Every structure is written in C-alpha cells, then in structure tokens.
Amino acid sequence: MGEERTIETTGETVDEAVAKAKTELGLGPNDTFFVDVIEEPSRGVFGIGARPARVRLQAIIRREPPPKPAAAAKPAPAATHERTDRGERTERSGSERREPRGERRSDRPARPERTERRDGAPKERSYPRVEDMDDDDSDLVALGGAVEVPEGDPIDDDARVGKAILESLLLKMEVESHITIRRAPASKAGENVPWLLDVDGPEDTSVLIGRRGETLAALQYITRLIASRELQRRANIIVDVGGYKSRRATRLQQLAMRMAEQAMERNRVVTLEPMPPHERRIIHLALRNHPDVQTRSVGDGEARKVTIVPKSMA
C-alpha cells in the first residue's frame, strides 16, 4: 500500500514548480504522481504583473520493505598471490609509466582563445543598466515650467508616436491610466524642448515609479527606444508619472542649495545620500555656477553619491 500526499508549489516555470514539489515530497522512481497546473507563469512587463507558475502535485508514495541484513562477509583469501601480482605489476620502472603521459601532453595542441561560451553559443548581448537610461540634461530643462498642451493644439511626431507607444505599453501592463502631453516654453529661439508625457490615472500609479525611480527610468528608456526606431532618429520625449520627476527635481535643487550653505558655514565637505544618476545630475547642475562650492561624485554602483566641497578646500 502507498501513502497518498498532496502539495502545492510555485516556480518560474511549470517544470521548476513540479521539480520542487517532487523534492519536497522526496519522491522516488517508483512513486506515482499526478500534476494539476493551477496557474501558468507570466513574466509581466518590467517585472510588473509577473506571476510564478503554481502546480498541485498528488503523489502515491510506495514504501519499500526494509532491506534484509547483509550476509556475513567471507574471510579474505591469503595474501600470498596478491603480493605476487603486485610484484609483477611493479616490475615496470616509474619512467616507463610517466613517458606516455608526457608524450600526450607534448602532442596536445595549444588551447585557442575562447570567443564563445562553452556551449558554442555567442555571448549574450549586454543590456543597458538603469543608470545608463536617463542621461540627457535637457530633461531637467523640460521639467521646469512644463504646461499642458491643450487638446487640438499641434504636436510633432515625437509626441504623437511617443504617446501611442506609451499607451500600448501601459495597456500590456494592465495599468489603467491617462497620458497628458506637457511642454515647457523655449528659453531661447530655436531651442527644441522635449515633450513631457505625464502618466496619471484612477489607480495607484506609484507602481510605475519603483524604488528610487528605477521603474520609471526603465519605462522612459523603452518608450524612447521604440519611438526612436520608428522615427529613425532620437525621440525627444520624457516620461513622468503624476509629476514625480518635477517634484523630485525641485526638492533636490532646494537640498543642493541648503547643503552648499552648510558646507560653506562649516568649511567642510558635505556628502549626500546615494542617488541614481539623473538625480545626481540635478545636484551637479544646481551648483554648477556656485561661486563658493563645487561638486563631485564618489563611490560605485548604487552607493554612488554627490559630495559638496568648498572651493577653499579644493
């Protein structure tokens, strides 16, 4: 008779979830099991809406009878013949044994440099990191004083194509939203100010912002990338969510001025908290023309931060 057991597990794929269930139940090759796929996996978009596979596994575990005790070991035969055999095997000199091995090594061709992975597949393409996704200082200009473009006013291909692509992405992400097109007035003749696509909606859209704005940076990157391919040139658009970038830029500019005053009063270096690249640039630009301090970025990766240094100490 077998013992019937049921378990539910999850995994990135159905096979992974099944393997996990079999491991947890300790199933052997003689055990019978049935799998019911409760939910197929979904990758979502930018990790939003991603769901693992969920399976229910019902197993009939057969319990093997305990093994019979092993028979007593027979006494070992006399070692006289074994010694004789060993003596015959050791008649060859050590140099004779090592010689063929040395020949094989000397005949072995030099190992070529690997340009591919061990399985023969080409190296995977390296995708941009989040810190490379938002590297245009013109974004900061567009965030200040951007006003809504009235319905029916003319817009160029950048705004039209960018909005259509962003709407399509949000639809696939199952995020109910509305996109408002905004633009700041040009500060000088001929200036091509970016279009600001501001996402808002009845649901909580903070999921589109993410930790330290990383999801928003990724959303802007993919929207720009697709739009640029369609336009055959760089798409002059910015993506924001509920005015997050505008509010954050204002707060960072105010922080930069306060910390600059503190650095001058104390005549010491002030180090800010770690920030993503586009936020560090806001600090740098806010103090670029300051007469008494200068800024530097220090650290690596997510720990990279801005320091404000009095020019008297530089």
232 and 260 belong to one structural domain: no
Does residue 40 form part of some domain? yes
62 near 31, Cβ under 8 Å?
yes
Helix axes 277-286, 244-266, angle to 10 degrees: 50
Of the pLDDT bands very low, low, confident and very high (cuts 50, 70, 90), residue 293 is: very high
Q: List, edge to edge, every strand of the sheet that includes 305-310.
A: 270-271, 305-310, 293-298
Residue 17 lies in a domain: yes
H or E, element range at 308: strand 305-310
Task: Give pLDDT, residue 17.
Answer: 86
- 154 and 226 assigned to the same domain: yes
Q: Which of 21-30, 109-118, 123-132 has the lowest mean pLDDT?
A: 123-132
| Residue 196 within a domain | yes
**Is 139 in the same domain as 237?**
yes
CA–CA dist 165, 12 (Å, integer): 28
Same domain for 274 and 209: no
**Per-residue confidence at 134, pLDDT binned at 50, 70, 90?**
very low
Least confident of 94-98, 202-206, 230-234, 304-308: 94-98
- Domain total in the chain: 3
* Residue 290 within any structural domain of the chain: yes
Nearest to 22 by CA among 59, 52, 54: 59
Q: What pLDDT does residue 66 have?
A: 58
| pLDDT classification of 223: cutoffs 50, 70, 90 | very high
Looking at every residue in the chain, the average pLDDT score rounds to: 76
Boundary residue ending a domain (191, 225, 242): 242
List, in order, residues 6 or more apart from 19 with CB less than 8 Å away.
11
Alpha carbons 143 and 193: distance in angstroms, whole number: 10
Rounded Cα gap, residues 37 and 267, in angstroms: 65
Q: How far is 239 from 143, CA to CA, in rounded Å?
A: 10
Domain boundary among 242, 261, 279: 242
**What is the domain extent for residue 9?**
2-62
pLDDT higher than threshold 60 for residue 274: yes
State the pTM of this model.
0.51
Residue pLDDT, tens place only, 149-199: 888 788 899 999 999 999 999 999 888 889 999 888 776 777 788 899 999
**pLDDT at site 49:** 65
Q: What are phi and psi of 53, to 5 degrees?
A: -75, 140
Residues 6+ apart with CB under 8 A from 117: 123
Query: How far is it, in rounded angstroms, from Cα 140 to Cα 205?
Result: 22
**Is 202 a residue whose pLDDT tops 90?**
no
Share of the chain above pLDDT 90, in %: 30
* Average confidence (pLDDT) over 239-251: 88
Model pLDDT, residue 36: 77
**Average of per-residue pLDDT across 226-250:** 91
In the structure, what pLDDT confidence band is assigned to residue 40 with cuts at 50, 70 and 90? confident
Residues 210, 169 within the same domain: yes
What is the spatial order of strands in the sheet that 2-11 belongs to? 2-11, 53-62, 32-39
Q: Which of 217, 242, 267 is the last residue of a domain?
A: 242
d(CA 274, CA 302): 7
My answer on whether 179 and 231 are in the same domain is: yes
Residue with tokens 């586009």: 278
Tell me if 84 is assigned to some domain: no
Mean pLDDT of 122-150: 54
Residue 147 clears pLDDT 70, i.e. is over it = yes
Quick one: 259 and 295 in the same domain? yes
Whether residues 273 and 196 share a domain: the answer is no
Residues 292 and 276 in one domain: yes
Considering the domain architecture, whether residues 238 and 134 belong to the same structural domain is answered as yes
What is residue 67's predicted lDDT score, i.e. its pLDDT? 60
pLDDT per residue over 56-98, tens digit each?
Answer: 888 776 665 556 665 555 555 555 444 444 444 444 444 444 4
Q: Are residues 168 and 221 in the same domain?
A: yes
Instruction: Measure the CA–CA gap between 217 and 111, rounded to whole angstroms.
Output: 44
pLDDT of amino acid 268: 92
| CATH assignment of the domain containing 195 | 3.30.300.20
In a domain, 125, yes or no: no
* Maximum Cα interatomic distance, the chain, rounded to a whole number of Å: 106
DSSP state of 208: G
Indicate whether 291 pLDDT > 60: yes
**Domain holding 294: CATH number?**
3.30.1370.50
pLDDT(135) > 50: no
**210 and 278 assigned to the same domain:** no
Is the pLDDT at 130 greater than 80? The verdict is: no
Give me the amino acid identity at 164.
Answer: A
Q: 6-10, 52-56, 88-92, 147-151: which has the minimum mean pLDDT?
A: 88-92
73 found inside a domain: no
User: For position 161, what pLDDT does the model report?
Assistant: 95
**Domain-embedded: residue 255:** yes
